[in-house]
Amino acid sequence: MCLAIPAQVCELLADDRARVRVGDVLKTVNIALVPQVRLGEFVIIHVGYALERLDPLAAEQTLALLHEASDLQPRRAESANDPNGQERTDEIH
Amino acid sequence: MKYIEEFRDAALARTLAQAIGQAVEPGRTYRLMEFCGGHTHAIYRYGLPGLLPKAIKMLHGPGCPVCVLPIARVDQAIELAGRPGVILCSYGDMLRVPGSDRRTLLQAKAEGADVRMLYSIDDAVTLARQLPQRAIIFFAIGFETTTPATALAILRAQKLGLSNFFVFCNHLLTPAALDALLADSPNPGSWIDGFIGPAHVSTVIGTAAYQQVARRYRKPIVIAGFEPLDLLQAILMLVRQLNSQRCAVENQYHRVVRPNGNRLAQDYMAQVFCLRASFAWRGLGTIAASALALRPAFASFDAERHFPLAERPSREHPGCACPAVLRGQLDPAACQLFAVACTPANPLGACMVSAEGACAAVYAYGRQPLREAL
Amino acid sequence: MKTSQPVAAGHPERIELVHGGGGRASAQLIERMFIRAFDNPMLQQKNDQARFDVPTRRLVMTTDAHVVSPLFFPGGDIGSLAVHGTLNDIAMAGAEPLYLAVSFILEEGILLRDLQRIVASMARASEAAGVPIVTGDTKVVERGKADGVFITTSAIGSVPNGVDLSADRAQPGDQILLSGTIGDHGVAILSARDSLGFTSPIRSDSAALHDLVKQMVRQVPTIRCMRDPTRGGLATALNEICQQSGVGMLIDEQAVAIAPAVQSACELLGLDPYYLANEGKLIAICPAAQADRLLAQMRAHPLGQGASRIGVVTTDPQAMVELQTALGGIRLLDWLNGDPLPRIC
């Protein structure tokens, strides 16, 4: 409940650590929870730990939906992949 | 700041607010609870109540780990800080929360206790390593967003063979709180139509965790990100669900939240922590299986085992209406103490002690009738 | 300005209690460290006081104690901060600073070369401002009784005729001008503290504003009040003026400039830039009719290039500051409750 912020991985370090960047601000964080993370990817940082990777494609999709809403045209479309199949991300039309 | 500013776009916010205005059915009120204190704070910080149509009534939930921590635990933290050789480390949020005799950790520090604010529990492990002759106790609070960090810190301390690092564990569980909030009533959740689910708790535990609550109480839940556009989009999704009488769990924040959450984080938590049989939440009462303690295997890092602490009763101020405010049943301004005796500078109850508690947020951002948005 | 004499071989590297004792070691420290650096005729007289003629105009006097930690930070140090801060207190009255006084409380054990660095910084600030340090004092306390150095600065200044700046003079309809970006000093200090572990390119904005102020009051003598938003930040300064004047304010969030790196650091730590200190910025409350002219004057000065009109004074019996958010919503911009602390929630 919880202040967490997207930051870009700019250097991988020893000991499960990485240097990340928010704008021009650099911070060293613990990446033990996202061990497969790669340089250039974005992660969500909370209290000095990366909690999860941010999916750029999903972010673009969300933004696209938001922009489309400004046309205010009703449209039914299928949502993004959901391997679990339990719920889907809904469109906002 | 990438992936932050795009989700604060003012023009998009206005069109979303308009879309919500067009989606609400005439004469109908939509009572939506944002569970998470961070969401409460964001809603007020951006002035969202003024942008939303009157049909939308935002209720503030108990998802503020600082607010729901019993006073007795604050007293115990202060007591630990006073023990010889102890360095009590804490996140900034807890330093100004008053205990039973109105003392805070900051005051204890002024009186000579070694209390240090840290941004990360990882720094406490490093400190323990640097100062082997001191006992480093970390005051661990938070819901599932913060718990994995504590688990990793304990595992790191174990790997380093530290014998002077301890955790005073006060981690809480979200689904249990949601359930308690709704169950504790002859007419479960009758005052709530739908939920905005927490962003970063869900990042850890996934969205599947909420299915049971949605099904059992027939309330839609939309997991929302922290930015204003996330919140507005989630509100629109909830309105649409309510209009078509659906009660599904939906994920607005799917750029970060995966259906199964972060399995690795969950595994670390399960490795280090076990469930307490019950825990007394401030304002909500005793809730079973709602809080975590260190497993016996990690007993050597458990502050409660290493430093015997007296059980203390928690006494609240008479006239404090937090139990009702925490459940979203009472507006902060309706509490007789609000802004009179109870203020952020002198907080008497749970909802005022943290910047994101419902009362503190309303006090700081919206305690007087504000002009109409221009 | 002459630099302090370097510490000669065989001499102590650190401040010792004897340096504050009033004997030879004291005198040598004062002569070689302070008088040499602050060099001016009044100080050279080596009296316990400085004597000067009093101008016929109204006088203002101010004093400040400086206890900042760390002593050195990007963009400044406790020395330059002390000089600029006190000059600014004088300037906020619309006055021209005349003389500075400085007293030091030194902790036993601090390095002489650190003290030298601080003193040199003060000398530079004083000289650039054209305001001499004419009298001073030094004491030394035992190890642990001071955070390295505590500095107290005082100053007097004179107020031009026709200028009457006071926090109780704001009126509904007045415009609120801000000279530049907020939060820089606060973030610079935090970045210099190890415990938060972040690096940023932000430097403190610590600067002497009296020349900017001189141009401003010359152009618009009817300015109602000025304030530099130091401890407690912009929000606190605005609330103080509201309280003193019995008015409200409506601030436009989009008009308040925040450097991107400051914004990033605040997001990362959970801090609000509206409550962070600024040491080289000012707020001016001005009658609406003169606001455009005043803004142009500010922007023509190096320290006011980023100036903007950030809001308007309103009628409000509750004397509250309201903020119109970038999204168009309205919320309060309340007083600060306690020190800004990084949050996790």
| Class in CATH terms, B1-312 | alpha beta
Quote the pLDDT of residue B374: 46
The reply to whether B44 touches chain C by the CB within 8 Å rule is yes
Q: What are phi and psi of C137, to 5 degrees?
A: -155, 155
The reply to whether B65 touches chain C by the CB within 8 Å rule is yes
**Average pLDDT of the residues in B214-227:** 95
Q: Mind listing the pLDDT tens digit for each residue in A13-38?
A: 999 999 999 998 999 999 999 999 99
Residue A1: pLDDT band by 50, 70, 90 thresholds?
very low
Query: Residue ranges of the domains in chain A?
Result: 5-72
Q: Does domain C14-158 have CATH number 1.20.1250.20?
A: no
C280/C272 Cα distance (integer angstroms): 19
Residue A93: pLDDT band by 50, 70, 90 thresholds?
very low
C-beta separation of B282 from B70 below 8 A: yes
CA distances from B178 to B58, B169, B195, B212, C264 (A): 16, 21, 10, 11, 33
One-letter amino acid of B153: A
Quote the pLDDT of residue A73: 40
Q: How many CB atoms lie within 10 A of CB C301?
A: 17
Q: How many angstroms away from the CA of A3 is the closest CA of chain C?
A: 5
Residue of chain C minimizing CA distance to A47: C344
β pairing state of B135-142 and C283-286: unpaired
C-beta separation of B152 from A30 below 8 A: yes
C-beta separation of B8 from B35 below 8 A: no
pLDDT at A41 > cutoff 70: yes
- Cβ burial, residue B193 (10 Å; 0-12/13-18/19+): buried
Q: Mind listing the pLDDT tens digit for each residue in A81-91?
A: 334 333 334 33
Q: Mind listing the pLDDT tens digit for each residue in B283-341?
A: 889 999 999 999 999 999 999 999 999 888 888 888 999 999 999 999 999 999 999 99
What residue has token string 């104690």?
C65
Q: Which of residues 60-79 of B touch A (CB under 8 A)?
A: 63-65
C-beta separation of C322 from C333 below 8 A: yes
C216/C223 Cα distance (integer angstroms): 8
Helices (H), chain B: 10-23, 37-45, 48-51, 71-82, 105-110, 121-130, 147-159, 174-183, 199-205, 211-217, 228-243, 263-272, 303-306, 322-326, 358-366
**Average pLDDT of the residues in B127-155:** 97
C-beta separation of B341 from B369 below 8 A: no
Quote the pLDDT of residue A74: 41
B235/B243 Cα distance (integer angstroms): 12
Q: Which residues contact C224 (CB under 8 A, 6 or more apart)?
A: C165, C166, C169, C170, C171, C174, C285, C286, C287
SS (H, E, C) C226-260: EECCCCCHHHHHHHHHHHHHCCEEEEEHHHCCCCH
β pairing state of A17-22 and A5-13: antiparallel
Q: Mind listing the pLDDT tens digit for each residue in C160-175?
A: 999 999 999 999 999 9
One-letter amino acid of A78: E
pLDDT at A77 > cutoff 70: no
For chain C, list the contacting chains (3+ Cβ pairs, <8 Å). A, B
Quote the pLDDT of residue C11: 60
Under DSSP, the state recorded for B172 is B
Q: Which structure tokens are listed for C336?
A: 């600060």
Residue B188: pLDDT band by 50, 70, 90 thresholds?
confident
Q: How many angstroms away from the CA of A13 is the closest CA of chain B?
A: 16
Quote the pLDDT of residue A4: 92
For chain A, list the contacting chains (3+ Cβ pairs, <8 Å). B, C
Q: How many angstroms away from the CA of A22 is the closest CA of chain C?
A: 6
Nearest to C276 by CA among C305, C235, C306, C241: C235
Coil/strand/helix, residue B282: coil
**CB contact burial B66-99 (16+ within 10 A = b; e otherwise):** bbbbbbbbbbbbbbbbeeeebbbbbbbbbbbbbb
Coil/strand/helix, residue B211: helix
Q: What are phi and psi of B186, to 5 degrees?
A: -65, -30
Edge-to-edge strand list for the sheet holding B86-90: B115-117, B86-90, B135-142, B165-171
CA angle C222, C225, C229 (to 5 degrees): 145
Query: Residue ranges of the domains in chain B?
Result: 1-312, 322-365
Proportion of chain A in helix, strand, coil states, percent, rounded to 5: 15, 35, 50
Quote the pLDDT of residue B54: 95
Nearest to C343 among B116, B355, B364 (CB): B355
Cβ pair B65:C345 closer than 8 A: yes
Nearest to C310 by CA among C260, C235, C243, C240: C235
What residue has token string 């405010």?
B325
Which of B3, B39, B170, B235 would best serve as a mutation to test chain A binding (most A beta carbons within 10 A)? Answer: B3
Cβ pair A27:C263 closer than 8 A: no
Element (H, E) at C285: strand C283-286
- The structure's pTM equals 0.90
Q: Does domain A5-72 have CATH number 3.50.50.60?
A: no
Element (H, E) at B170: strand B165-171
Residue stretches of chain C with pLDDT short of 50 = 7-9
Query: Which of the two residues, C121 and B371, has the higher pLDDT score?
Result: C121
Under DSSP, the state recorded for C338 is S
Coil/strand/helix, residue B180: helix
Helices (H) and strands (E) in chain A, counts: 1, 5
Residue of chain A minimizing CA distance to B230: A62
Q: Kindly provide the residue ranges of all beta strands, DSSP E only, lying in C76-189, ordered along the sequence.
A: 76-77, 96-107, 133-141, 149-159, 175-178
Q: For chain A, what is the radius of gyration of the CA atoms?
A: 16
Q: Which residues contact C145 (CB under 8 A, 6 or more apart)?
A: C107
Query: Residue ranges of the domains in chain C?
Result: 14-158, 174-332
Q: How many angstroms away from the CA of C179 is the closest CA of chain A?
A: 23
C234/B13 Cα distance (integer angstroms): 26
Nearest to B146 among A6, A47, A55 (CB): A47
Residue A76: pLDDT band by 50, 70, 90 thresholds?
very low
Q: What are phi and psi of C295, to 5 degrees?
A: -60, -45
| Class in CATH terms, C174-332 | alpha beta
Which of C193, C202, C267 would best serve as a mutation to test chain A binding (most A beta carbons within 10 A)? Answer: C267
pLDDT at B44 > cutoff 80: yes
Chain C positions touching A66 (Cβ under 8 A) are none
CA distances from C198 to A44, B58, B153, C76, C261 (A): 16, 36, 20, 18, 12
B314/A67 Cα distance (integer angstroms): 50
First to last CA, chain B: 27
ipTM score of the complex? 0.92
C266/C259 Cα distance (integer angstroms): 11
C176/C310 Cα distance (integer angstroms): 6
**Average pLDDT of the residues in B259-287:** 96
The reply to whether B370 touches chain A by the CB within 8 Å rule is no
